[in-house]
Amino acid sequence: MFGREKRTVPIDRIEVTLGPTTNFNGDLECDGIVRIEGVYRGSIKTISNVIISEDARVDAHIEAENVSVSGQVKGSIVAQGRLEILSTGKVWADATVTSFLLDDGGKLHGGLKMFGSGPEPESFDVPPAANAAATAEEEPPTDDALEASTPDPAPEDQ
């Protein structure tokens, strides 16, 4: 736009920092680490990490490799890697992640979906019939079962 070529930015370098007195509305897309210390509304998309500092307030859709929250976040989060909600972090969002860490004191108010978790199993309650029969053979009989299998003594003739 201004005649500059886009340079490759290392994904392990903080590329964008919004300071504590910043109040920003809009959409941000970049390749480096994003650090938010102020108020942010909109969307954030990066192939690297997003760091939400303790005093930050973010209302956004966030897409990143990893997201670390020490402040407050509303919206939605998609982390291809890990979502960390640290002890001072509060999140009101639905999150889709590969890995999740919640420190003591951190709060998540929303849904959590894991990438690669596979389909939901049909049931956990009913063991297969072969296992049920093997289990029945291995368990000792109960007192009720013993009493039921013992014949009553024949009444004596008087």
Which helix (H) or strand (E) covers residue 129, if one does? helix 129-138
- Delimit the domains of the chain by residue range: 14-114
Per-residue pLDDT of the chain (158 residues; tens, 9 = 90+): 455 555 555 556 788 999 999 999 999 999 899 999 999 999 999 999 999 999 999 999 999 999 999 999 999 999 999 999 999 999 999 999 999 999 999 999 999 999 886 777 777 776 677 655 555 555 555 665 555 555 555 555 55
Q: State residue 119's pLDDT score.
A: 75
- Helix (H), strand (E), coil (C) string for 65-98: CEEEECCEEEEEEEEEEEEEECCCCEEEEEEEEE
- The region that residue 75 occupies, defined by phi over 0 for left and psi between -120 and 50 for alpha, beta otherwise, is left
Chain centroid, CA 114 distance in Å: 6
Size of the chain, expressed as the number of residues it contains: 158
Residue (of 110, 111, 104) closest to 89 by Cα position: 104
Q: State residue 116's pLDDT score.
A: 81
Q: State residue 3's pLDDT score.
A: 52
